[in-house]
Amino acid sequence: MQRIQLLLFAWLTLAAAQEISTEKQRLTVPHGSPGPQDGRIVGGWETKITHFPHQVSVQMGTRHICGGTILAPSIVLTAAHCVLKSNEPQLYAIRAGSTLWSTGGSYVRVRRIIPHEQFNLPTHMNNDIAVVQLQQPLNYSLDIQPIQFVAPTDNLAAQAQLFVSGWGSTAVEQMSTASRLHYTVIVQLDRQICTRNYFGAGTVTSTMFCAGSKSGLGDRDSCMGDSGGPLIVRIAGRFKLLGIVSWGLGCANAQYPGVYTFVPAYGDWLLQTVKTLT
């Protein structure tokens, strides 16, 4: 898988060079569902895009609907449920390199969207991942950078700090979108306990994982609008992408932590998908 990942980034770099020469109802209404309540980082802190330069805002027109992650100059990763109108890519754009989702940085329209072909199969919210190709490549800077995803060979500590970022209000009772980027720190939670808690409400598959507050109080979480955004971890001094904000039941609920797409499980799919983007 590590070799596949290296091949993927090598191919993306070559493709970019050639291109230049071109919810509160988080189960039935996923985190990133478009609407007046665009989501929030619960129990987090304000930050600057310089600290999360891989983060983008996925927008419909000029309205923030989800987060996304830069993998290459023209490639962004997000959740499949964020781009349900994938056959109409002209409706979408991304903003990169800005602490504010509404202004600044680079605003680039989308050329093509490829959601996982088995999204929602065989169970709801499974394979919640999509590749977004931009119309023009991003120009890297201190505020715009790609990130690699965690490889199976990487040594990930059981209680490693995980960082999730996004835009939105900073408390459960506040429903308006915040103008500035926020982040919070969570940890991966026991799969068996999480699966048992969600029994009857949703299925946590082998390509998902649960993460939440280390205190177990449910005081930190991602929520609507944060969907599609990155969950990262530091490995050997370098940040890497571990998950995509996907779904959950409620927000900042200790019994129902956030559920994330496990990105390393999709190395083969990413390689094959990006190859089709010519």
Q: Which residue type occupies 124?
A: H
Contact 180, 100 (CB under 8 A): yes
Helix axes 2-20, 267-275, angle to 10 degrees: 20
Phi, psi of 249 (to 5 degrees): -120, 110
The answer to whether 130 and 89 are in contact (CB under 8 A) is no
Q: What is the pLDDT of residues 107-166, one digit of tens each?
A: 999 999 999 999 999 999 999 999 999 999 999 999 999 999 999 889 888 788 999 998
Q: Which residues are catalytic?
A: 81, 128, 227
How long, in residues, is the chain?
Answer: 278
**Cα torsion through 143, 99, 31, 233, rounded to 10:** 40
What is the set of domains in the chain, with CATH numbers? 2-22+53-146+265-275 (2.40.10.10), 162-264 (2.40.10.10)
Are residues 129 and 246 in contact, defined by beta-carbon separation less than 8 angstroms? no
Q: What's the pLDDT at 39?
A: 33
pLDDT tens string for the chain (278 positions)?
Answer: 443 444 454 445 444 433 333 332 333 334 443 322 223 355 567 899 999 999 999 999 888 999 999 999 999 999 999 999 999 999 999 999 999 999 999 999 999 999 999 999 999 999 999 999 999 999 999 999 999 999 988 988 878 899 999 886 555 545 556 678 988 888 999 889 999 988 888 899 999 999 987 755 444 456 556 889 999 999 989 999 999 999 887 665 667 888 999 999 999 999 999 998 86
Return the amino acid letter for 129: I
pLDDT at 200: 82
Give the per-residue pLDDT at 157. 82
Residue 188 burial (C-beta neighbours within 10 Å; 0-12, 13-18, 19+):
buried
C-alpha span between 15 and 116 (Å, rounded): 21
